[in-house]
Structure 1
Amino acid sequence: MHLFFFFFFDSDFPKRLTSAMEDRGIDLFALAGITNVSPLTVKRWLNGRFEPRHKNLMSIADALDVSGDFLLGRT
C-alpha cells in the first residue's frame, strides 16, 4: 500500500503566482516550458500543493519579471 501526503502551505504564493501570470499573459503550459518543469508541477504550485524549489523560484521570477521575494510574500 502506498501513502501519498500533500502539504498545503499557508502562503500567498499561489495567489501571487496567479496574479503575475495573468499580468504577463502567461498560462501554466508556457510557464512550464520556460521553467523546464511539467505542467502538473505548475498546477500544483497554483493550487498550493507545492512550493517551488529555490532554483525554480528564480526561474519563475525571471520569467514573470518579478522578484522571488514578491512571489514568497516578503515584499
Structure 2
Amino acid sequence: MTANLSVDYRSPTPILRELVFRGWCERVEGRKIYTRGTVHHGDTLCAEATGLFIAMRPELFAKLLAMRDAPK
C-alpha cells in the first residue's frame, strides 16, 4: 500500500517525446519499502520522486484474495 508518494518537477516534461523512467528500491525496513525514481528527456531531468510503501501482511493479502475470488 502507498503510504507516501512525492514528485518534484525539475523542468517541463515534453509530450510526444521519448522519456526514460527509472525506479529503484533504496532500502527495506521491516514492511516499509523506501523507493526513488526519476524521469529524463535525454540528459534533462524532468522529475524526481520518492515513495514509501508498506508491504501487506501475508494473512491480510490472503483474506483479500479470498474475498475477491468468492462467488458473488
Structure with greater strand percent: 2
Question: TM-score scaled to structure 1, two decimals?
Answer: 0.24
Question: TM-score scaled to structure 2, two decimals?
Answer: 0.25
Q: Radius of gyration: which is bigger?
A: 2
Which structure's relative contact order is higher, taking Cα pairs within 8 Å and 6+ residues apart? 1
